[in-house]
Amino acid sequence: MAALAQGEDSDDNMDEFMEKFKTQKYKNAFSESNWEEEFDKVPMFMKTAPENIDPEKHPDLACIQSIIHDDHRTPEEKARSLKDEGNEYFKEKNYKKAIVSYTEGLKKNCMDIELNAIFYTNRAAAHFHLGNMRSALNDATAAKKLKPDHIKAIIRGAQCSMELCNYAGASQWCDEGLRLIPTDKKLQELRATADKQKVESPDRKKKNENYEDGDGDGGASRALADLELDGISSQEATGARVYMDEQGVLYWPVLFLYPEHSQTDFISAFCENSSFMDHLAVMFGEELPPWDSERKYQPQNLQLFFEDPEKGNLYQVDLEKSLLNVLQHQRCSVKAGTPSFIVLVSGSSFSKQFLSGKKVQRLK
C-alpha cells in the first residue's frame, strides 16, 4: 500500500509539473536561435572538444574523452592502469580477475622492464593463492629473468618450489636471494625448511599445482581410475569447484595428466573462455617441471586429448580452442566436477606407443 501511495504521489507531482507549462515558460529552454550552440556544450553531442579540459569543472566531459581517446595513451600508461586495476582486485581477494588484469597489462608490450617484472610477480602471487603452483613458479621465473634482483619474485619462486616439493629447486632460489640479501629472514627460513625436507623425505612424491601425482604406470586411464577408487575429487582435494562470476562466465577446476611420467597438474580456476594454450604457455614457460629432464614439454610440442569413457576413443583437442568449445562436445564427459585431459609430446616414442591401437579423432 505504501508503494502504491508513493506511486500516486509521483503521478500527482508529474501532473503538477506539466500544468505549469500552460502558465509558465521554461526558463532554461533552448531557443531557435541558440539550440545548436547549447547542444554543442553537451559532451554527448559535441562536434569538437575543447583543447584543454579541466576535469574538476567538466568531469563528465573528461570521463568521456578518456574513454574515446584511450588509444592516444602510451602503452606504459595503459599498462599502469591495468596494474592498478589488478592490485585492487588482489586486495579484494578476487585473484581470478587480478590475473586477467595483469595478463592484459603484459599484452600492452610496454618497454618498462620493471613494470613488466611487477606484472609477472603479482600474477605469480595471484596464481599462488589459487593453488596454481607451477603457473606461479613460471611467472616468478619470468619476473626474475627481467629483473634478476627482484627479491619478491625470488621469494615467490622458492615458496612455489616448496609447494611442489621440489626442495632442491627451492634451495637454489633461496641461495640466489641470500646472495642479494644475506639477512633476509624469509629466505633463511625457506632454505632451512628445504634442507630439512630433503633429508627427511628423499622419496616423497612431488606435487604439481596443488594436486597429488598419479602413482600408477598404466597411463592416463589408470591414473583416473586410481583417483576414482580412492574417492578423491578436485573439490575434496583442493576445495576447488565450478565458479560463476558476475558476468555469468564459468571457471572450472581442470586436471591435466602426463602418462609418460605418471604426473598430474591441477588448475583450480580455468576460465571457460580461455584457450588451452593460454594455460600451457604459462605452465610450461620459463621453468619446466623437474620431471621433464629431457626438456621436451615445450608448449609448441604438446598434444592434448580427452577420452570418451563409453567407447574408449581419444579426441585430440586444438590447443587454441577454448575450454567451453571442448566441453560442449557431446563425447566430452566431466567426472567429479573436474574435466580431465591427457597431455603428450607430439611425435615422441612414448606418444606413438600410447596412441597405437587406439582410435583417435581430431576435434572439429
62 Cβ contact list (under 8 Å, min separation 6): 53, 54, 55
Neighbours of 283 (CB within 10 A): 26
Report CA torsion sign: 274, 275, 277, 280.
Answer: positive
DSSP code at position 275: B
What angle (nearest 5°) sits at the alpha carbon of residue 303, between those of residues 298 and 276?
A: 80
- Residue 89 or 224, more confident: 89
DSSP code at position 358: S
54-69 pLDDT per residue, tens: 555 556 555 555 554 4
Banded pLDDT at 242 (limits 50, 70, 90): confident
Counting Cα atoms < 13 Å in the Cβ hemisphere of 147 gives 19
How high is the pLDDT of residue 33? Answer: 62
C-alpha grid cell, residue 21: 507549462
How high is the pLDDT of residue 174? Answer: 92
Question: How far is 175 from 11, CA to CA, in rounded Å?
Answer: 76
**Residue tagged 545548436 (cell numbers):** 36
Let me know: does 69 contact 35? Beta carbons within 8 Å.
Answer: no
Strand 360-362 relative to strand 314-317: parallel, antiparallel, unpaired?
A: parallel
Domain boundaries defined on the chain: 75-164+166-200, 214-362
Query: CATH for 214-362, among 3.30.70.260, 3.10.20.90, 3.30.360.10, 1.10.10.60?
Result: 3.10.20.90
How high is the pLDDT of residue 231? Answer: 30
What dihedral do alpha carbons 165, 170, 172, 174 form, nearest 10°? -170
Question: How far is 228 from 155, CA to CA, in rounded Å?
Answer: 36
Question: How far is 334 from 347, CA to CA, in rounded Å?
Answer: 28
DSSP code at position 70: G
Beta-bridged to residue 263, according to DSSP, are 258
- Residue 290 or 223, more confident: 290
CATH of the domain spanning 75-164+166-200: 1.25.40.10
- Which phi and psi angles does 352 have, rounded to 5°? -60, -40
2 Cβ contact list (under 8 Å, min separation 6): none
Question: How far is 224 from 299, CA to CA, in rounded Å?
Answer: 23
Counting Cα atoms < 13 Å in the Cβ hemisphere of 248 gives 0
How high is the pLDDT of residue 19? Answer: 61
What is the value of pTM for the model shown? 0.56
337-350 pLDDT per residue, tens: 888 999 999 999 99
- Residue 96 or 208, more confident: 96
Give the chain's radius of gyration (CA, Å). 28
Banded pLDDT at 291 (limits 50, 70, 90): confident
